[in-house]
Amino acid sequence: MPLDHHLSPEHEELRRTVEAFAREVIAPVIGDYYERHAFPYEVVREMGKLGLFGLPFPEEHGGMGGDFLALCLAIEEVARVDSSLAVTLEAGVGLGAMPILRFGTEEQQKRWLPKLCAGEALAAFGLTEPESGSDAGGLSTTAVRDGDEWVINGTKCFITNSGTDITSLVTVAAVTGRREDGAPIISTIIVPVPTPGLTIAPAYSKVGWSASDTHELSFSDVRVPADHLLGEEGRGYAQFLSVLDEGRVAIAALGTGLAQGCLDESLRYAATRTAFGRPIGNNQAIQFKLADMEMRAHTSRLAWRDAAARMLAGEPFKRQAAIAKLYSSDAAVTNAREATQIHGGYGFMNEYPVARMWRDAKILEIGEGTSEVQRMLIARDLGLPGTF
């Protein structure tokens, strides 16, 4: 399927609106939040008023009636300025609220989605465990049925949006039984926040994404009603695989935004910083770096938009999502390194946005499927021997 790289007038208007919002509202204040490792509640509230958290949701649930492309466009534009808020948006929508829309009952949707779409509440998705990251089939968290309740025990780690003052729920992936061959039966269960027995550990001290919220969660005999099961029992693995496929496209958009933001900052700096009597942008060595940065950001954008277009058309997109995620994360890391080099000593100072971008980039090669996992998925989809 050929990719039409032209956006519709509606999508382009949204992109420009979010671009201006990021530049005028986020950029002036995010550095302070980042240095204090503080969650930017006021900015998140403004993002909610703008409708960003409700972009791909039906109006009946308080959403904007848009689509997945609209969400990814917003994520990219926010990430051009700051990745902490971009991942807050990506995780809050893609991992937190979207599973409820896709797999939840009408009652669950009515209860949770309106505030999530308005940005008045955030939801988290509890998948990763201390001993289970890429090996999602190795979950040890359990949920046992006890009458009309589920009893949950286990630990989750690196969970985004799980400990804010406005976190309303965590959807937990847990083993709810065993099949005849011993394979785990995995289901997903909604756990409201707070719930007795759920302990939210202090926020992690992270290398990057310092203005986003990330915690370890412990479940000790956490009891929730049986109707908090999300979707069918035993379908949890298939549910989170579909969530991760979409999430990789959204993370690719985030990586693209970071790569573009590095270029934006470097172009400004190269035009104003002088050395030996002329702007450093006059030097061919700098020009070649900037040209390569543009190439990476442009190609990354084409990759994630292609994957998103295939998804919206109902076509297979797993390989394209993996390609987009793999390429964009590499582009982000490389552009961040080059932007820091162009800025010289100033690039190592946190007052300059490229320093934040350099710190934020590396996690993109790890989160939502490592670069190694993406290569494995691509090879498997190519039908190579030994990949099944």
Q: Do 43 and 29 share a domain, yes or no?
A: yes
* Residue 13 token pair: 């208007």
Last residue of a domain, one of 82, 97, 122: 122
Active-site residue, 233 included:
no
H or E stretch covering 269: helix 236-272
- DSSP letter at 37 equals T
Whose tokens are 């089939």? That residue is 137
- How does residue 132 score in pLDDT terms, banded at 50, 70 and 90? confident
Asked if the structure places residue 350 within a domain, the reply is: yes
Residue 44 belongs to domain with CATH number: 1.10.540.10
φ, ψ (nearest 5 deg) of residue 283: -85, 135
Q: Do 32 and 137 share a domain, yes or no?
A: no
* pLDDT exceeds 50 at position 2: no
Please identify which of the residues 13, 90, 368, 372 carries the catalytic annotation. 368
Q: Do 16 and 115 share a domain, yes or no?
A: yes
Asked if the structure places residue 32 within a domain, the reply is: yes
- How does residue 307 score in pLDDT terms, banded at 50, 70 and 90? very high
Q: Which domain holds residue 225?
A: 124-234
Query: Over the stretch 170-229, which tens digit does the pLDDT of each residue have?
Result: 999 999 999 988 889 999 999 999 999 999 999 999 999 999 999 999 999 999 999 999
Q: Do 212 and 282 share a domain, yes or no?
A: no
Asked if the structure places residue 388 within a domain, the reply is: no
Residue 206: strand, helix, or coil? coil
84 vs 335: CA distance, rounded Å: 18
Better-predicted residue by pLDDT, 237 or 84: 84
Query: Over the stretch 221-230, which tens digit does the pLDDT of each residue have?
Result: 999 999 999 9
Query: Over the stretch 222-254, which tens digit does the pLDDT of each residue have?
Result: 999 999 999 999 999 888 888 888 999 999 999
Q: Do 252 and 363 share a domain, yes or no?
A: yes
Whole-number pLDDT of residue 3: 57
Last residue of a domain, one of 234, 256, 271: 234
Q: How many domains does the chain have?
A: 3
Whole-number pLDDT of residue 136: 64
Taking residues 35-43, what's their average pLDDT?
A: 97
Burial class (CB in 10 A: 0-12, 13-18, 19+), 251: buried
Q: Do 198 and 220 share a domain, yes or no?
A: yes
Residue 204 belongs to domain with CATH number: 2.40.110.10
- How does residue 134 score in pLDDT terms, banded at 50, 70 and 90? low
Contact, 159 vs 217, CB < 8 A? Answer: yes
